[in-house]
Amino acid sequence: MLEVSNLACSRGDHRLFSGLSFSLYPGQIMQVQGENGSGKTSLLRTLCGFLMPDEGDIAWCGKSIRELDEAYYAEMLYLGHLNAIKDELNALENLRISAGLAGVELDEKEAIAALRRMGLRGRERLPTKVLSQGQRRRVALARLLVSGAKLWVLDEPLTALDVGAVAQIQELIAEHLARQGMVIFTTHQPLQVAGMEMRCLSLS
């Protein structure tokens, strides 16, 4: 369970938000809404521990994430604006390495199955520099399929994706929630998850 209490965050001299409190329980999904520059990405990066909050605390299962550190990182997955894939490597190598960094050893078969499910059949061994923007995003999103993390923090997961891929991401999120996972995400595109109540957090 993720608990955020009285969180305040600023970039430079500009206060983005303050007094922010919410909790996210297993099986719940939350969308962070707000205009450009309202601090959505900063909030998600604070949840990852990249940014230090000015005030307040973030707790995972009752303990501060600062104390938990690696134990917390083992249970969360962050997908940011940057895809974290290397142009020089092919899709398969990229996926296996990024899963490895997240602490999951993947064999080739599992990685290929995940890439195929993301609609990259036949592109597994191409260098990612020849792939389109949407296909690269799919390589990055394939991490969702192979991760054992409970909490997904997704920053604009749908950018550059086509309609089919968006539907697939919705399906993935629904499966994850059904496994008692948690999702917190931002998007400017409509995202519907069947049979789930979408909680909204508005930053202004």
Q: Which of 8, 104, 160, 196 binds another protein (CB under 8 A)?
A: 104
Taking the C-alpha atoms of residue 193 and residue 177, their distance in angstroms, rounded to an integer, is: 10
Binding mask 113-152 for another protein (x = CB under 8 A): ---------------------------------x-x----
Residue 100 binds to another protein (criterion: CB under 8 A): yes
Distances (CA, A) of 123 to 5, 92, 129, 132: 44, 9, 11, 11
Would you say 106 or 193 has its CB closer to another protein?
106
Taking the C-alpha atoms of residue 59 and residue 23, their distance in angstroms, rounded to an integer, is: 9
Q: Tokens for 175?
A: 């499966």
Residue 103 binds to another protein (criterion: CB under 8 A): yes
Residue 49 binds to another protein (criterion: CB under 8 A): yes
Residue 101 binds to another protein (criterion: CB under 8 A): yes
Would you say 37 or 148 has its CB closer to another protein?
148
**Min dist. Cβ of residue 131 to another protein (A):** 14
Residues of the shown chain interacting with another protein in the complex, contacts defined by CB under 8 A: 48-52, 70-71, 73-74, 76-78, 80-86, 88-89, 93, 97-98, 100-106, 110, 146, 148
